[in-house]
Amino acid sequence: MANQHPKASGKPPRRRSLLAAACLLGLPLAAAAQDAARDYPSKTITLIVPYAAGGSSDVRARQIAQKISVTLGQSVIVDYKPGANGNIGTNAIAKAAPDGHVIGLGNLAPLAVNKTLMPNTPFDPATDLVPVILLEKGPLVLVVNAEKSPHKSLKDLIGALKAAPGKMSYASAGSGGSFHMAGEMFKSSVGASAVHIPYRGGGPMMTALLGNEIPMMFINQDVALPHIKAGKLRPLAVSSLKRNNLYPDVPTVAESGYPGFEALSWSGMSVAAGTPAPIVAKLEAAFNEVMGSAAIKTKLESNGFVVPPQGSKVYSDFVAAEKARWTQVIQKAGIKPQ
């Protein structure tokens, strides 16, 4: 056996030596990744929000930053980088050092829509980001002005849209966001047309509807609720497959004769591609702990959100499915890249 031919092992000597060298090189790299995870976080964590302060993304980020700081035992600062429909902040997340000390909030526009609508998007979510956790998802609600609108039901609204093709309009907080995409899916689903009017954010959009400058829009269910309770807005339908606990008497678009209609608002956390897997796993575990806490979960669910089964794989699959869904809507609606 000592004189065994070199090829008896099934691999030529050079290939065996290359494999051995690769294994030896891999061991220090794996050990380094484990050491980095043990020491992580070793400095202040920056949580990038790709939108301006004061909106719902800001509120969510500050709630989570406070809790995750305690869980990880390190300070977390929230850094706002608005602009380009979420692209500026998301690009900063993608280009950050891949060590887990920069994490970022993401949602539909920068992660599932912008790459299709904005060819100059400077990052690819599929290759430049690592999903850490899907934080929340919730439906939108289709609303009209309760004091001025003649439309009392979804059927009324659809009838009016079909009676005057292209004459009515709907508002959004900007092209490519969830309100815009929901409106496009709605038009396609019901076989009607309406003009998209993008406003510079949710505040101006809401002001326009309350002032009866615009006849309808989709908006987050929790944002709409105070105006509905005050008798200013009338909900006609929700965009989830099942009814929402905030609006138990309001039908879904799906149950109103358009099965399969679903348009959700959602958010999650990501880090730069190349972040060591043990650090991603540590972040995932920490966020799972925070999102599973009674304080956060109860707050979200009381506002009509769902805290889904969470984790990197769930979030990755979810974003991929959302991208496929909305790419199809964009193509069917003929929305041109900007």
- Kindly report, residue by residue over 293-321, the tens digit of the pLDDT: 988 988 898 889 988 877 899 999 999 99
On the question of a common fold for 43-137+266-333 and 139-256, the answer reads: yes
Q: What is the pLDDT of residue 33?
A: 60
The yes-or-no verdict on residue 143 having pLDDT over 50 is yes
The yes-or-no verdict on residue 4 having pLDDT over 50 is no
CA distance linking residue 253 with residue 286, whole number of Å: 36
Query: Domain residues of the chain, as ranges?
Result: 43-137+266-333, 139-256
Nearest Cα residue to 46 out of 88, 105, 86, 87: 105
Q: What is the pLDDT of residue 20?
A: 59
Asked if 33 contacts 276 with a C-beta cutoff of 8 angstroms, the reply is yes
Q: For the residues of 240-284, what is the DSSP string, one character each?
A: SSS--TT-TTSPBTGGGT-TT---EEEEEEEEETT--HHHHHHHH
Can you give the pTM of this predicted structure? 0.86
CA distance linking residue 114 with residue 273, whole number of Å: 19
CA distance linking residue 31 with residue 23, whole number of Å: 12
Q: What is the pLDDT of residue 156?
A: 96
Q: Give the pLDDT band of residue 197 (cuts 50, 70, 90).
A: very high
Displacement of CA 156 from its chain's centroid (Å): 32
Q: What is the pLDDT of residue 31?
A: 63
Q: Give the pLDDT band of residue 6 (cuts 50, 70, 90).
A: very low
DSSP E strands: which ranges in the chain?
45-49, 76-80, 102-107, 129-145, 169-172, 195-198, 217-220, 233-238, 264-272
**Average pLDDT score over residue span 23-47:** 76
Q: What is the pLDDT of residue 7?
A: 41
CATH domain 139-256 topology = D-Maltodextrin-Binding Protein; domain 2 (3.40.190)
Q: Give the pLDDT band of residue 11 (cuts 50, 70, 90).
A: very low
Asked if 168 contacts 160 with a C-beta cutoff of 8 angstroms, the reply is yes
Higher pLDDT, 120 or 27: 120
Q: What is the pLDDT of residue 3?
A: 45
Higher pLDDT, 63 or 231: 231
The yes-or-no verdict on residue 9 having pLDDT over 50 is no
Q: What is the pLDDT of residue 30?
A: 61
Burial of 52 per CB tally in 10 Å (0-12, 13-18, 19+): middle
pLDDT (tens digit, 9 = 90+) per residue, 236-293? 999 999 999 999 999 999 999 999 999 999 999 999 999 999 999 999 999 999 999 9
CA distance linking residue 240 with residue 327, whole number of Å: 19
Q: Give the H/E segment covering residue 325.
A: helix 312-333
The yes-or-no verdict on residue 10 having pLDDT over 70 is no
Q: Give the pLDDT band of residue 1 (cuts 50, 70, 90).
A: very low
Residues 284-312: b if buried by 16+ CB within 10 A, e if exposed: bebbbebbeeeebeeebeebbbbbbebbb
Under CATH, to which class is 43-137+266-333 assigned? alpha beta
Rounded to 5 degrees, what are φ and ψ at 102? -125, 120
**Average pLDDT score over residue span 22-48:** 76
pLDDT (tens digit, 9 = 90+) per residue, 323-337? 999 999 999 988 887
Any idea which residue has 């509807």 for tokens? 209
Q: What is the pLDDT of residue 134?
A: 96
Asked if 305 contacts 136 with a C-beta cutoff of 8 angstroms, the reply is yes
Residue type at position 271: V
Mean pLDDT of the chain: 90
The yes-or-no verdict on residue 21 having pLDDT over 60 is no
Nearest Cα residue to 154 out of 291, 78, 252: 252
Higher pLDDT, 32 or 79: 79
